[in-house]
Amino acid sequence: MHTQPTIDFRLTEVAEHPERLSRIRGLLADSGLGLDNDIILFVEALSGSQLVGCAGLAANVIKCVVVDEQMRGVNLSARLLAEVENVALAHGHFHLFLCTRPCNKERFARSGFWPIAQSGNSAVLMENTPLGIERYCRSLAGQRRCGERIGAIVMNANPFTLGHRHLVEQAARCCDWLHLFVVREDASFFPFRERLEMVRAGVAHLSNVSVHEGSQYIISRATFPAYFLKESGEVQQAWSEIDVLIFRDFIAPALGITHRFIGSEPFCDITRQYNQTLHQLLTPQISVVEIPRIKATGNAISASEVRRLLRTQQVSRIREIVPESTFAHLKAHYSARAEVA
């Protein structure tokens, strides 16, 4: 009769114990997994002094769940999940997400996670409640507006430029009502609250636009769990497909959205591929309308150019490509850094 090995669990705060990361990284690598750099803590499973499993937590997203091959079949992954969920609860995170390969979906379902959207055989996004996306859609439905043409824009606005304003104005002119979502994440140069403030100020003159705070159902490429995907192209496809499918199957029906507006993308390959995914997955249910970018001083306006000019203190040129409301924000919050005047 075989006795199950004794397993001890240890909490590792990444900032306090960076020396433990090498063993964690090695265990992940043995299973073909990477280490996402936004993880703040790990629950380690130890058999004696040997690391035999781990599960990471980045805010309310569980990542990097792995068990040593020799320890599989003893229910260790379920115990690890329970441990990291308890840690998340202690940190005030009750609504949890994870992203994994579809072949692991049943295993995580047995631990109380429900699928939301899936990208082929690459990735499935799951949450620890069967009602999470449903509750979110009910909250959106309370902001539904009447009309035959209901539009939507999703933007990062890092920061909000004249190009963003042009896109919103053109879309609002075409629609009975326009829903504008600002992606919620703080991995960008400008934090979410600042970006939201700049967007609200920049569209305040439009009477048929609702500005929505993004949610975790509008997924940022910067924070998408990618540790189990080896190729950057695979990460890009999985992120874009899951994000677009959630929009198509949940967000758009809740708000009665008929049109999705996007700006043309002359610079960024990631955004250009995302736009292609929108065309592929939304039509014919939702019309995708691509609006050409406007130019300033002969070049297409981009938020990345604003950030570059801010870093290099070329202040006069910033004023040429952002609304006065955005410039006022930069002056108030970044004058010491870039001498905005």
Position 317 scores a pLDDT of 86
Position 268 scores a pLDDT of 81
* Contact predicate 250/142, CB 8 Å: no
Helix spans in the chain (H): 21-30, 76-90, 105-109, 132-141, 162-174, 192-202, 232-246, 252-255, 269-282, 303-311, 315-318, 324-338
Delimiting residues of CATH 3.40.630.30 domain(s) in the chain:
8-94
Indicate the CATH number for domain 134-338: 3.40.50.620
Position 72 scores a pLDDT of 78
* Contact predicate 217/103, CB 8 Å: no
Lookup: tokens for 215: 């949610």
Position 1 scores a pLDDT of 44
Position 94 scores a pLDDT of 96
Q: What superfamily in CATH does domain 8-94 come from?
A: Gcn5-related N-acetyltransferase (GNAT) (3.40.630.30)
Position 131 scores a pLDDT of 96
Give the separation between CA 211 and CA 199, rounded to whole angstroms. 8
Give the separation between CA 304 and CA 1, rounded to whole angstroms. 64
Delimiting residues of CATH 3.40.50.620 domain(s) in the chain:
134-338
CA-nearest of 120, 95, 131 to 241 is 120
Position 267 scores a pLDDT of 76
Give the separation between CA 207 and CA 292, rounded to whole angstroms. 23
* Contact predicate 283/248, CB 8 Å: no
H/E run at residue 99: strand 97-100
The edge-to-edge listing of strands for the beta sheet with 123-127 is 8-13, 41-47, 50-58, 61-67, 97-100, 123-127, 114-119
What is the residue-level pLDDT of the chain in tens, covering all 341 positions? Answer: 456 678 999 999 999 999 999 999 999 999 999 999 899 999 999 999 999 999 999 999 999 999 998 887 778 999 999 999 999 999 999 999 999 999 999 999 999 999 999 999 999 999 999 999 999 999 999 999 999 999 999 999 999 999 999 999 999 999 999 999 999 998 889 999 999 999 999 999 999 999 999 999 999 887 788 889 888 789 999 999 999 999 999 999 999 999 999 999 877 888 889 999 999 999 999 999 999 999 887 888 989 999 999 998 887 789 999 999 999 999 888 765 544 44
- HSE (CB half, 13 Å, CA atoms) of 41? 16
Lookup: tokens for 77: 């992954």
Give the separation between CA 149 and CA 174, rounded to whole angstroms. 8
Q: What is the pTM of this model?
A: 0.93
Position 340 scores a pLDDT of 43
